[in-house]
Amino acid sequence: MLVYRSAIDLSSSTLDFLSRRLAAYRREIGSRWRRLSAGRQALLALAHLRYGDTSAQLAASFNIGIATVYRYIREAVDLLASAVPTLNEAIKTAKAKAFVILDGTLLSIDRIVADRPYYSGKHKRHGMNIQVIADPFGRLLWASPALPGAVHDIKAARTHGIIDALTTAGIRTWADKGTRVHRARFECPTADAGRLSPLASAR
């Protein structure tokens, strides 16, 4: 098997953040020895999350067993998940913003034609529906748990309680036509000659 070095288009701060959490976790559980350092484990996990490298590919690249790769990735993902703010915490942060952006995105996954719940008719591919709240500069405030790709954005937003939370808090929200809700403080920017015009009320 041939092995080569590659690059990941992520900042070093991302690697440092995950490395610190992994190192702290190892100290917490009293793990004295691992095949990879916390930094190398973080790099392995990021390679998988960013590019979808398989366990077999990563095992060859890092010179460890496939079972170890799977365990290391699962460990890193669980730590990252534990650092995610709750919706209520994100709403508290959002109250200090002039407005927030609510949008849905589809994360592509490998599925067969028979897996209809995961097929998005809008995007014409299989995936998972993720709802995202961002600040006016596009910085991520919160990302929802994943739902099957066939779920429409408005249903996903309601399922996660996002609409009720934003409306109750009185937070001005930008959303596309697929997410706007009657009598909610959701507004939609319209395109004019390729530029965004002032917000139009969605009521």
Residue 137 domain-assigned?
yes
Taking only the tens place, the pLDDT of each residue in 120-167 is 888 788 899 999 999 999 999 999 999 999 999 889 999 999 999 999
Same domain (yes/no): 29, 75: yes
pTM listed for this prediction: 0.72
Q: Which residue range forms the structural domain that includes residue 130?
A: 87-201
| Residue 181: per-residue pLDDT | 53
Q: For residue 144, give the nearest of 102, 197, 194 by alpha carbon.
A: 102
Domain finish residue from 63, 82, 101: 82
Q: Residue 117: which pLDDT band, with cuts at 50, 70 and 90? A: confident
Distances (CA, A) of 150 to 124, 127, 159: 10, 8, 14
| Residue 185: per-residue pLDDT | 53
Domain finish residue from 31, 61, 82: 82
